[in-house]
């Protein structure tokens, strides 16, 4: 069974993933047996009962009660097995344990925000302890579109909707880093809407939590603060640091470069422009990029955080 899992599916890394895989393989094996059996029967009957001459006539056959009951009861039993098995697994996957560690998840075009109970926030990555049930309280940003959170190795998938909370949970069985995706097509940046679930040992998770809570943002140099803002505000979902073009322009080499806008004007990307493009991103839209950067950062970022992001961009020359 482990060989089948590795052949058909990514490794099973949550407590209920093995149950999901077992049902998947059961359905595949039964389907294969039926396919082979029916195919052999078709070939055999085609040869045995083929018409041998023009004088052959088909006898009058009404029905065979035993055969009809058999081919009705056996599929019914298989369907009931799959239903009972699947329903039991579904209930387990929808019922988080009472001691679950809760994380709020917000999706937006095109990124993810995660907030821990102690106030720690992460963008496009989620850090959790191993062997601890994690309950996700999920919604899409107001005014945004549908998204879907999918971690293949956890066998976890849940849609997120604006103005409505949905829920999911998982418990990772070993430390590691596991990729998640958005599996609901949500626009031009859909393919970039992914990230990492980082599963740490309890000791490492406690150390990470203490380090995150101990950060004094007011004491950080502006450029270092800007790097934190780049990840925490979700900038990395649309703006790369290596020159690669995403939903928005890359930050690499952006400072003091001439920008061309959809209204036909041009401007040098100096400090004033960078600040304006953060707080009022829809005023000047760069040629070749969609006008979909949310107009929220004037309210969600402090003045120092905005200045820090500008200094961070300036260093990427």
Enumerate the β-bridge partners of residue 227.
none
CA end-to-end span of the chain:
52
Helices (H), 130-279: 202-213, 222-232, 271-279
Enumerate the β-bridge partners of residue 15.
none
263 Cα distance to chain centroid:
36
What is the pLDDT at residue 199? 97
- Block means of pLDDT (10 residues each) for the chain, 317 residues, are 64 93 93 95 90 80 88 93 95 91 90 86 90 93 91 95 90 95 89 91 94 78 88 85 89 93 92 90 91 83 88 89
Enumerate the β-bridge partners of residue 162.
140
How many other CB atoms are there within 10 angstroms of residue 128's CB atom? 20
CA–CA separation, 305 and 20 (whole Å) = 44
CA–CA separation, 166 and 156 (whole Å) = 13
What is the pLDDT at residue 225? 87
What is the pLDDT at residue 5? 55
Instruction: Name the pTM for this structure.
Output: 0.70
Enumerate the β-bridge partners of residue 177.
198
Do the strands 147-151 and 156-160 form a parallel or antiparallel pair, or are they unpaired?
antiparallel
Q: Domains in the chain, ordered, with CATH? A: 2-40+65-93 (no CATH), 101-214 (2.60.40.420), 217-315 (1.10.760.10)
What is the pLDDT at residue 164? 85
Contact 296, 306 (CB under 8 A): no
What is the pLDDT at residue 4? 53
Contact 298, 281 (CB under 8 A): no
Element (H, E) at 309: helix 303-314
Do the strands 101-108 and 134-140 form a parallel or antiparallel pair, or are they unpaired?
parallel
What is the pLDDT at residue 54? 80
């Amino acid at each position: 069974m482990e060989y089948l899992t590795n052949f058909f599916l990514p490794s099973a890394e949550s407590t209920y993933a093995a149950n999901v895989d077992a049902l998947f393989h059961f359905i595949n094996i039964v389907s294969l047996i039926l396919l082979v059996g029916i195919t052999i029967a078709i070939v055999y009957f085609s040869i045995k009962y083929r018409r041998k001459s023009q004088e052959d006539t088909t006898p009058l056959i009404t029905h065979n009660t035993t055969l009809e009951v058999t081919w009705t009861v056996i599929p019914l039993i298989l369907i009931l097995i799959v239903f009972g098995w699947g329903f039991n697994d579904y209930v387990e996957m929808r019922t988080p344990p009472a001691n679950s560690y809760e994380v709020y998840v917000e999706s937006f075009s095109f990124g993810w925000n995660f907030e821990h109970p102690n106030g720690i926030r992460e963008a496009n990555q989620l850090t959790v302890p191993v062997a601890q049930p994690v309950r996700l309280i999920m919604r899409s940003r107001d005014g945004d579109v549908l998204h879907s959170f999918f971690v293949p190795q956890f066998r976890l998938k849940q849609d997120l909707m604006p103005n409505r909370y949905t829920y999911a949970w998982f418990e990772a069985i070993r430390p590691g880093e596991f990729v998640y995706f958005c599996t609901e097509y949500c626009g031009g940046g859909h393919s970039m809407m992914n990230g990492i679930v980082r599963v740490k040992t309890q000791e490492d998770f406690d150390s990470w939590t203490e380090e995150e809570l101990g950060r004094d943002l007011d004491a950080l140099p502006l450029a270092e603060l800007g790097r934190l803002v780049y990840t925490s505000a979700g900038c990395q979902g649309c703006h790369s640091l290596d020159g690669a073009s995403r939903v928005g322009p890359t930050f690499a080499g952006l400072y003091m470069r001439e920008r061309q806008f959809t209204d036909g004007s041009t401007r040098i990307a100096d400090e004033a422009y960078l600040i304006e493009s953060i707080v009022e991103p829809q005023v000047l839209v760069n040629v070749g990029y969609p006008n979909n950067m949310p107009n929220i950062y004037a309210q969600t970022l402090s003045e120092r955080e905005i200045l820090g992001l500008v200094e961070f961009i300036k260093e990427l020359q």
